[in-house]
Amino acid sequence: MLFDLLERLSSLTRVWFREHPLLTELQPIQLSALLYLARCNRYSNTPLAVTEYLGLTKGTVSQSLKALETKGFLNKVADARDKRSVHLELTPPARALIESVMPPDFLVGAAQRMGARASDLEGLLLELLRNIQRGENVASFGLCRTCRFHQTTASGGFCGLTHEPLEAKEVDLICREHKIADNSLG
């Protein structure tokens, strides 16, 4: 059954993270917050966006973010235009940690053994995720380059929602404002 497979995979992932020697100091929520912040763009690195992405209560997320700040994994930086709003920026040690554990070895090894079928599976899982998100009417948090607001201009990427230019590296990050394009599953 699909549910059993997903549950087994997520439980194996949890165990792998829990037993990883570099991650012993991090609680699962703290790790999830770090993984999200390492993948999201500048419109999405706020405490509220982390709360929405993880689907947890504000209090729980706020405690985890505080713990990560104390451990030296993130800094709170005031928004340049709205001083009441803060952005959560990962520190170099946090980025180095994420780079050394992601993607998990067990997944890379299994995908290599599957060959081209691993890409087919990725496409199918994305289709499953988008169908669930459409059905439940929840935010997609998809890749910027697949967003219906994403535009490519002569000088590079451009966001049609915020009317701001996008750096090349930003188009491969996930966004809280992402809206699925009609012809895409991204």
Q: Using a CB cutoff of 8 Å and minimum separation of 24, what contacts does 38-42 make? A: 38/90, 38/94, 38/95, 38/98, 38/102, 39/173, 39/174, 40/141, 40/173, 40/174, 40/175, 40/176, 41/144, 41/170, 41/173, 41/174, 41/175, 42/87, 42/170
SS3 category, 151: strand
Number of residues that bind ligand SF4 (CB under 6 A): 12
Nearer to ligand SF4, 10 or 162 (CB): 162
SS3 category, 45: coil
Minimum Å distance from CB 152 to ligand SF4? 11
Nearer to ligand SF4, 23 or 175 (CB): 175
Q: Does 177 bind ligand SF4 (CB under 6 A)?
A: yes
CB 90 within 8 A of CB 76: no
Nearer to ligand SF4, 30 or 44 (CB): 44
Contact flags string 151-170 toward ligand SF4, x per CB under 6 A: --------x-xx--------
Q: Does 178 bind ligand SF4 (CB under 6 A)?
A: yes
Contact flags string 110-149 toward ligand SF4, x per CB under 6 A: ----------------------------------x--x-x
Q: Which amino acid is at 91?
A: T
Which residues pair with residue 75 across a beta bridge? 89
Closest by Cα among 146, 129, 140, 144 to 184: 146
Minimum Å distance from CB 138 to ligand SF4? 16
Contact flags string 5-44 toward ligand SF4, x per CB under 6 A: ------------------------------------x-x-
Q: Is the peptide bond before 28 cis (omega within 30 degrees of 0)?
A: no
Query: What is the contact surface with ligand SF4 in residues (CB under 6 A)?
Result: 41, 43, 144, 147, 149-150, 159, 161-162, 175, 177-178
